[in-house]
Amino acid sequence: MSGGEQRKWAVMTDQIEANSTITCPECGHVETETMPTNACQWFYDCKGCGVLLKPKQGDCCVYCSYGDVACPPIQEGKACC
Ligand SMILES: [Zn+2]
């Protein structure tokens, strides 16, 4: 038996999740969006009803307020822009 050692690629578990699913508080429309990793998105146009979403007070971006995944800087534990 020649022990064939299989090389496994390390799975990056600490990777930043770049997709966030936004739920519109007005119409309930759900849309998965790719977040910019280097900037915060303050405004978001709902593709369901067209309302302009803005971050809630205390939140840095629309993804933190309405998305199921916080924005990349928050995921990295940094203060947001
Ligand atoms: Zn909407």
| pLDDT value, residue 73 | 87
Mean pLDDT across the chain: 86
Q: Is the pTM of this model over 0.85?
A: no
User: What's the total number of domains in the chain?
Assistant: 1
How far does the centroid of ligand 1 lie from the alpha carbon of residue 4, in Å?
55
**Arithmetic mean of pLDDT, 6-26:** 78
How far does the centroid of ligand 1 lie from the alpha carbon of residue 41, in Å?
17
Q: Kindly indicate the confidence band of residue 37, based on its pLDDT and cuts at 50, 70 and 90.
A: confident
**79 part of a folded domain:** no
**35 part of a folded domain:** yes
Q: For 40-71, give one letter per residue: b (16+ CB within 10 A) or e.
A: bbeebebeeeeeebebeeebbbbbbbbbebbb
Q: Which amino acid is at 65?
A: S
How far does the centroid of ligand 1 lie from the alpha carbon of residue 79, in Å?
28
How far does the centroid of ligand 1 lie from the alpha carbon of residue 17, in Å?
24
How far does the centroid of ligand 1 lie from the alpha carbon of residue 30, in Å?
8
Residue 9 above 80 pLDDT?
no
**14 part of a folded domain:** no
Contact 70, 64 (CB under 8 A): yes
The residue segments making up the domain with residue 67 are 19-71
